[in-house]
Amino acid sequence: MGTETDGSVRVLGIEGTAWAASAALYDAGTETVEIETEAYLPDSGGIHPREAAEHMAEQIPAVVERILDRAGETADSDPPVDCVAFSRGPGLGPCLRLAGTSARALAQRLDVPLVGVNHMVAHLEIGRHLSGFTSPVCLNASGANAHILGYRNGRYRVLGETMDTGVGNAIDKFTRHVGWSHPGGPKVEAAAKDGQYVEFPYVVKGMDFSFSGIMSAAKQEFDAGTPVEDICCGLQETIFAMLTEVSERALALTGSDELVLGGGVGQNDRLQSMLTSMCEQRGASFFAPENRFLRDNAGMIAVLGAKMYEAGDTVSIADSAVDSDFRPDEVPVTWRESETAVGRKTDDLVQGAESQVRFEGNRVVKRRHERAYRHPELDERLRRERTRTEARLTSQARRAGVPTPVVRDIDTADAELTLQYVGDEDLRDTLTEQRVRAVARHLATLHEAGVVHGDPTTRNVRVDGDTTFLIDFGLGYYSDDPEDYAMDLHVLGQSLTGTDDDADRLREVAIDSYRDVGDGNVVITLREIEGRGRYQS
């Protein structure tokens, strides 16, 4: 195990965000984690908050006492632990309050400090701790959540997220329609092994993604008589390919070559195999914790609690209120040094999220290589569609007055484009306020022409002196919906978060510049999008 906790600190952790009434003992000296969990399994449907709270009220005291007994048996001091850590959120309010009450009572009883842990950050940190990675990107895939986190400037930043519902909850909506009991994920995984691939909508916008259309299509397929095994196969191949693609995009944006997986859906073998394949193909390292640390558990709460305790990051009883909407990017990361991953690039070859780019004089040859993690039918479809879309919209944007490369040649069979060489650097490597303003103006011009870029990250802007060029329109499309235009600004803002320490200021610069020349309703819609907190429970 990798570790940053020296000495022999011992922590009792308590988890109670939704279904898992869990307690754990972590001993940093021996690097051991003992976990006791009592799971709430509803008779039908999904998780019922009242029943889940009743389960917590009954089972948390029991698991805590069992772990406390073990702590007493192995302790050489009194009290047997140095602190009590608990999950403050996000989660179901009634469950969180019961877990918090138990933690406060125990800390007072033992007269030890209290540590409040963000549940989603704990999913990331247990992977970082066990892997020994330095600064990984994390894919969190759980019932109520689905997002990509990366570290920058003392916080974990949300680089991408679901636009509607968590991945596990999305799958459960389909399995409830079929009539299967909760949880649905393992049942879908088992059925998919005997199924044939069925095509479903594939929705990725930058590093954001959506599951609602997929679930509606899956229900329609079931009602139309398509074998449920085939539907399950198509669901897995589509949903997990989307999660893998946005993970690769996050690696490309941040320059990191380390990926960790968190969350209960991460127990799925097919998802793990896709992430492994993607990382192998791009020369990155991937780590998935063992299953007991992927599903909700108090072990990860105790391990992160130890790091926070040693950093002096404790809370008083009076300041320990739970927060059902506790965002991971609200947490000051006090327990690790600030560092930024460095991108990897050679003079004549750049590895992007899905493609490799060769520089040949005044030309650029871009090829979307096969992604081994995707189902062959899905992979061929996406590579050809995105190559055609990039060629068409790059030219359309240029005609609208947006600086873009000239398309020299297109080969859809090999998913290859030849383009004019533009710019000497990515915007990521040469961020200035003036250039961010220019990008926002370009987006406003693009939207006026009815075109959505789809992926305007700092990697997809090239800079040549005072000129900024938009490139890589592969995720673009035509639209007259202000929400689609606002999503372009949202993606730009997320990429600034992942690449610059002064991202908040630069995001406001982009918004002001867009407002000056674009539709003000788009900015209003953007504020609504940013206020949704879609990745929360």
The catalytic residue positions are 455
How many CA atoms, within 13 angstroms, populate the side-chain half-sphere of residue 501?
6
Q: What letter does residue 180 receive in the DSSP assignment?
A: P
Whether cis (ω within 30° of 0) applies to the bond prior to 79 is yes
**Distance between CA 487 and CA 205 in Å, rounded?**
8
Neighbours of 40 (CB within 10 A): 20
In 3D space, the residue among 289, 237, 248 whose CA is nearest the CA of residue 148 turns out to be: 248
Are 38 and 29 contacting, i.e. CB atoms less than 8 angstroms apart?
Answer: no
Q: What letter does residue 63 receive in the DSSP assignment?
A: H
**Distance between CA 199 and CA 376 in Å, rounded?**
12
In 3D space, the residue among 534, 450, 464, 452 whose CA is nearest the CA of residue 492 turns out to be: 452
**Pairing mode of beta strands 155-161, 146-152:** antiparallel
- Could you give phi then psi for residue 151, rounded to 5 degrees? -95, 135
**Distance between CA 435 and CA 431 in Å, rounded?**
7
- Could you give phi then psi for residue 320, rounded to 5 degrees? -105, 25
Q: How far is CA 523 from the centre of its chain?
A: 24
**CA quadruple 275, 279, 285, 289: dihedral, nearest 10:** 0
Are 394 and 450 contacting, i.e. CB atoms less than 8 angstroms apart?
Answer: no
Measured at the CA of 326, the angle between CA 6 and CA 509, to 5 degrees, comes to 100
Q: What is the largest CA-CA distance in the chain?
A: 75
- The set of residues, in sequence order, having a beta carbon less than 8 Å from that of 18 and lying 6+ positions away, is 40, 47, 52, 91, 92, 95, 143, 144, 296, 537
**Distance between CA 230 and CA 437 in Å, rounded?**
48
